[in-house]
Amino acid sequence: MRKLKLQMQTTLDGFVAGPNGENDWVFIPGKQDPEALQQVITFGVELAAGCDTILLGRKLGAAGFVGYWEGVAKQPENPWQPFGQLMADHRKIAFSHTETSVPDPNIEVENGDLETTVKALKNQPGKDIIVYGGVDFVSSLVSLNLIDEYHLIVNPIAIGAGLSIFKERKVLELQSSVAFKSGKIVNKYIPVGS
């Protein structure tokens, strides 16, 4: 069975976005030398390469997430180009209760029951499935116990208030932890009992 993997940036104090969805804390000026940036890119590429499907909430799908990365895929000089190419090549499914289409023709829209649909996707042949956001969508996946691996990139910053993907207690087991030169730490967790 395919796994659903979450990759998400988080703060030291456990927020994945500011109170209004801000993510200006993810790449802190002065903290990104080329070597540190390459570590983050390599991690993202390696995780995405093991997957062939991206799940999105409708808000993130409509916000240009896919279009942005498809643009990066066409920029050979951009250090993020290999990641952008993977984003462009992967199957993309946006979940929505209200919309039957999004402006991007490369995104499928799914209106069915989230739990039923994700479980069906996990049973299809292929590589693993990955989700990057948004906050409400990921929170729903977490609450339904659909995430098999949490790849949380902990940033060396606290923001004091913000949005969390956890709405109830979740017991997770740390599988690995890798520190990057920038101060970011990637922690891989699996749900206890998996």
- CB burial of residue 29 (10 Å; 0-12, 13-18, 19+): exposed
The answer to whether 70 and 109 have CB atoms below 8 angstroms apart is no
Domain locations in the chain as residue ranges: 4-19+48-180
The answer to whether 146 and 130 have CB atoms below 8 angstroms apart is no
Average per-residue pLDDT for the chain: 91
**pLDDT confidence bin for 172, thresholds 50/70/90:** very high
pLDDT at residue 67, rounded to an integer: 86
pLDDT at residue 82, rounded to an integer: 96
Average pLDDT of the residues in 18-32:
81
Using CA atoms, how far apart are residues 106 and 66, in angstroms rounded to an integer? 8
> Looking at domain 4-19+48-180, which CATH architecture does it have?
3-Layer(aba) Sandwich (3.40)
pLDDT at residue 131, rounded to an integer: 97
pLDDT at residue 88, rounded to an integer: 92
Show the DSSP H helices in 63-129 as ranges: 65-73, 81-89, 114-122
**Cis peptide bond N-terminal to 44, omega within 30:** no
Above pLDDT 90, what percent of the chain?
A: 73
pLDDT at residue 179, rounded to an integer: 93
Average pLDDT of the residues in 178-185:
90
- Indicate whether 143 pLDDT > 90: yes
For 146-171, the pLDDT digits (tens) are 999 999 999 999 999 999 999 999 99
pLDDT at residue 194, rounded to an integer: 61
For 86-140, the pLDDT digits (tens) are 999 999 999 988 888 777 778 899 999 999 999 999 999 999 999 998 899 999 9
- Indicate whether 25 pLDDT > 80: yes
Using CA atoms, how far apart are residues 175 and 189, in angstroms rounded to an integer? 5
Q: Which residues, other chains included, contact 153 with Cβ-Cβ below 8 Å and sequence gap of 6+?
A: 7, 8, 9, 10, 40, 43, 184, 185, 186
The answer to whether 161 and 19 have CB atoms below 8 angstroms apart is yes
- Indicate whether 16 pLDDT > 70: yes
pLDDT at residue 102, rounded to an integer: 74
Above pLDDT 70, what percent of the chain?
A: 95
